[in-house]
Structures are given as C-alpha cells and as structure tokens.
Amino acid sequence: MATAVGKKFPNLNVNAMNEMGDTFKLNVLEEAINNKKKVLLFWYPKDFTFVCPTELHAFQAALGEFEKRNTVVIGASCDTAEVHFAWLSTAKENGGIEGVTYPILADSNRNLSSILGILDITDETYDEETGTVLVEGDNVTYRATYLIDEEGTVFHEGINHMPVGRNVNEFLRLIDAYAHVQTHGEVCPANWEEGKTAMAPNAKGTAEYLAAHLN
C-alpha cells in the first residue's frame, strides 16, 4: 500500500453531514487549497460504537486549538449521512456525539476510502457461480488520520487498528512542527514542541543540537 505523504490529497467530492442536518458535497483537497488552510481528516470505523465517540468528542474539545493553527477538522466514516445525523442527534450520555460541530464525511460508496487503501478487507475472492467478489472483513475503515497543508499536500498519515484511540494533542504538535518548518526552514528533532529549539537542515545543525541537548 503506497503512502499518501508528499502527494496531493485525492480530488474527490464526498457526501458530508453537518450538525444542522444538512447534507452537502465536500472536497477535502479544495477545502485546503481554496480556503488556504490546513486540514485534519480523521477516519473512524462506525457510528454508534465505543471508542469512536470518545475520539469525536476529543477532537471537538480541541477544535479551538486547531482553529488557532488555521486548521479545519473533518471526521469521516463509511456510514450514511442519515446515520451521521442520527448519531449527532444522540446525547453524549447515551453514547452519541451531540455537540460536535465539524463536518463528517459519509463515504458510504467507499470511493475515497478505497483510493486511500484504509478499508478493513482481509481477503477478496471471486465467486464464479454468482459472478461477484466476496469480501472478508468488515469493509469499514481503520482509524486513519491525514494532515494536509494549504497546497493540498499530505504531510502526515497515520493508521491505528480499531481498538486503539488516537492522541489528539499529537496532531497539534505535528501541525506546530510543520508550520515551524514552513515559516523558518528549520527541521524539528525528536520530541520537538512549540517553543523548543529546532535545527538547521544539515549535518552541522544535527551535531550542534546533539551536543547541546543529549548527554
């Protein structure tokens, strides 16, 4: 499976749902380029499940921090827009995501998730009798996350298995690091955080950093 990092995000219109119950077409690539913003797109397996609502609420809680960084947050799964709205209309104490305000892609035809190669398909076999392809696996997405810059280029891609939730703060750190590179032309060493020392992108810069920061 080829990585998306360093490439333009797929140019594809996908159904989406907002908290008002409006269904509309959303193109992630155009969202970045036309609005000159970074985009965080995160995929989760299914609505009305267990780890998933904890992630959607965690991204909502950090929405102001992403906005400070000129970053749009978009959720996504293979559920339909109608199922998204039912979940958006369900209270948090009942396992719902009421209060989430960012848009959620409804990739129910699995066009975008297929292009990205993030579907849980363990095997495919061709049934000669029926002339159909049979799929082994749930055919829903893993917990994939994409960070896309203002030019529509992917600068981070990460994929978790279903049971493992994400650390939202790590994506804020990655956005900070990439913005530092964009602004200053320096590179960010291991465990770099905003306000810490970065390095010149050459051997001398690495040597100076190691001498100053590692025993």
Q: What is the residue-wise DSSP string for 88-122?
A: HTS-GGGT--TT--S-EEE-TT-HHHHHHT-B---
- CB-count burial class (<10 Å; 0-12, 13-18, 19+) for 20: exposed
Amino acid found at 75: G
- CA 34 to CA 157: how far, in whole Å? 22
Q: What is the residue-wise DSSP string for 113-180?
A: HHHHT-B---EEEEETTTTEEEEES---B-EEEEEE-TTSBEEEEEEE-TT----HHHHHHHHHHHHH
Catalytic residue among 39, 40, 52, 199: 52
Which residue has tokens 């095997």? 123
Which residue has tokens 């001498």? 211
- CA 193 to CA 170: how far, in whole Å? 10
Amino acid found at 21: G
First-last CA distance in the chain: 39
Q: Annotated catalytic, 52? A: yes
Q: Which residues are catalytic?
A: 52
